[in-house]
């Protein structure tokens, strides 16, 4: 069985995806996820009951007090189901899982906050043994984390990554300001010839990165991390075959894989 874990974008693709040589699927839970496809927990349990592939659920929306009763309900149903792992952004979900004595494996998936060996060790020691690490790490940084932690590490190797998430309805507000109708279900801005998708949801607005594709880098990382292919807002499930068959791609956008970010514009130390 392959090691790819796939986030489907359409319910209709799930059967096809489960026939491929992948490890499993991550499925967003309705009203608790930022993935394009969201299903109810009952639907996901049904999928898990009918496959030998791993099925994970994702609770990666920002969780307010009012969401907690649904989180509790979902976790309670997960407890005795065939769902393999629970992936969550908000630490409150893990607190609830502990209270409810959920024995499932937990994955911390704080897209941009989990960037060091130390943070992963902290989570490991607190019972969260799997971790999705931030997309703005270089391959060298990823290797260091792998060397210095016991966590099972996940990293998104394909997909539009959420790089801005606001509770505001940023597009609705803009169209009101310019007094025009908002007719499209997604919009785009450009910077340096790269295209960034903006989608407004009932819970807020997300801006996505250009399509990250690490197909050509897989030989460097496939033994280090569990690769996630996020098909949200893409229609090309055939790309999966290219990863499975280790095909090389044309020159693709690779994010920070080979490029360090900077943050201090002048050199200045603590002393």
Nearer to another protein, 13 or 174 (CB): 174
Binding-site string for another protein from residue 131 to residue 170, where x marks contact by CB under 8 A and - marks none: ---xxxx---x--xx--x-------------xxxxxxxxx
Binding-site string for another protein from residue 222 to residue 241, where x marks contact by CB under 8 A and - marks none: --------------------
Nearer to another protein, 190 or 219 (CB): 190
- Tell me: does residue 117 bind another protein (CB under 8 A): yes
Of the candidates 40, 173, 235, 246, which one interacts with another protein according to CB under 8 A? Answer: 173
Give the number of other CB atoms < 10 A from CB of residue 102: 18
**Termini Cα distance of the chain:** 53
Nearer to another protein, 135 or 213 (CB): 135
**Residue 234 beta carbon to another protein: minimum distance, rounded to whole angstroms:** 14
- Tell me: does residue 193 bind another protein (CB under 8 A): no
Give the number of other CB atoms < 10 A from CB of residue 221: 19
- Tell me: does residue 202 bind another protein (CB under 8 A): no
Q: Give the Cα separation of 67 and 65 in Å (integer).
A: 5
Cβ pair 258, 142 in contact under 8 A: no
Q: How far are the Cα atoms of 9, 89, 120, 196 from residue 60, in angstroms, in the given order?
A: 15, 5, 18, 21
* Rg for the chain, CA atoms, rounded: 19
- Tell me: does residue 181 bind another protein (CB under 8 A): no
């Amino acid at each position: 069985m392959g090691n790819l874990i796939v986030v489907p974008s359409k319910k209709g693709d799930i059967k096809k995806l489960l026939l491929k040589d992948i490890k499993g699927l991550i499925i967003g839970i309705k009203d608790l996820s930022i993935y394009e496809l969201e299903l109810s927990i009952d639907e996901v349990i049904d999928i898990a009951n009918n496959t030998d592939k791993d099925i994970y659920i994702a609770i990666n929306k920002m969780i307010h007090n009012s969401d907690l009763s649904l989180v509790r309900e979902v976790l309670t149903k997960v407890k005795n189901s065939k769902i393999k792992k629970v992936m969550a952004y908000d630490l409150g979900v893990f607190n609830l899982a502990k209270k409810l004595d959920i024995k499932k494996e937990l994955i911390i998936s704080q897209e941009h906050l989990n960037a060091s060996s130390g943070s992963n060790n902290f989570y490991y020691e607190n019972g969260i043994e799997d971790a999705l690490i931030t997309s703005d790490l270089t391959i060298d940084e990823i290797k260091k984390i792998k060397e210095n932690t016991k966590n099972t590490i996940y990293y998104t190797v394909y997909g539009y990554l959420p790089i801005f998430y606001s509770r505001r309805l940023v597009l609705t507000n803009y169209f009101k300001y310019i007094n025009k109708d908002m007719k499209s279900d997604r919009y785009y801005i450009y910077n340096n010839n790269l295209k960034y998708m903006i989608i407004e949801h009932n819970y807020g607005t997300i801006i996505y990165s250009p399509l990250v594709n690490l197909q050509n880098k897989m030989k460097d990382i496939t033994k280090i991390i569990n690769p996630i292919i996020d098909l949200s807002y893409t229609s090309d499930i055939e790309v999966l075959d290219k990863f499975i068959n280790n095909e090389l791609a044309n020159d693709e956008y690779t994010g920070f894989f080979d490029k360090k970010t900077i943050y201090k514009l002048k050199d200045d130390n603590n002393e």
